[in-house]
Amino acid sequence: GRRAAEEAQREEQRAAAAVRKAAQAEAERREKEAADKRAEEEKAKRIAKAAEKKAARKEGKAKNKEAKKATPAFKLEEERRAKAAAEVRAQEERAAQLAAEQEAARRAEREAAELAGAAERAALREDAELAEALRRSEVDAEEALARRVSRCEEAVSSESTGGGGDLVRRVERLEASLGTATEGSLEERIGAIERLIELEAGEAAEQHLPVTEPFAAVSLADAGLDTGRPAAPESTMGGER
């Protein structure tokens, strides 16, 4: 049970790491996109400036051509003012477009940062929930072992600490009482005690010992232990386990 919980914890941690990695990748992608946008804006500025110079040269040539044709001075002035006004409008439009693109890039950066922060908070929350679930699982497992020990104590001596006291010491007292000692984990030792109690109960039933004997007619089912099998009829209690 504990190994499964630890494996589940590792799986959750891997999933949380994948979420953080995906969020980081998305933030990096958006940052690169914003950098590319800024580079495009700089390029657009250079192109616009070159176009302005070209337009100025073209305007100068046009003026010279008009002068050669002896165009009236007032007509040239009107054309110059119209071109200047058109250029001002074009510059204002480019400035507005550039400001909008810069704001969009900043917004994208903010959204990427918020996404990364949310992913990090979610990962921390998942880690905390997993740790709490593992702690509850360990507590439940220990309580289950304590209940099994209590049933063994009742089967052996009709006395139980009611789940209190140090579990290891209670198991050691049971082993001493039964004259057995098993290597392994606490759960394995408890399982060995349960099997020995069942064996003693079976032997006592076969010998038809009085019920006052410690192990008389006591099966795992009588002691409240879950064997995973339906209880055998009383007539076969001593012969089948």
Residues 127 and 207 occupy one common structural domain: no
pTM for the model stands at: 0.35
**Domain total in the chain:** 2
**100-110: pLDDT as tens digits:** 999 999 999 99
**pLDDT attached to residue 227:** 42
* Residue 4: per-residue pLDDT: 87
Do 133 and 176 belong together in one domain? no
**Between residues 233 and 45, the one the model is more confident about:** 45
Kindly state the average pLDDT of the residues 108-121: 93
pLDDT confidence band for 132 (50 / 70 / 90): confident
User: Would residue 220 count as lying in a domain?
Assistant: yes
User: What pLDDT digit, counting tens, does each position of 192-221 carry?
Assistant: 999 989 888 888 777 765 544 444 434 444
Decide which of 105, 125, 140 is a domain's last residue. Answer: 140
Q: Is the pLDDT of residue 236 over 60?
A: no
Residue 103, CB half-sphere, CA atoms under 13 Å: how many? Answer: 6
Shared domain check, 112 and 74: yes
Host domain of residue 185: 166-236
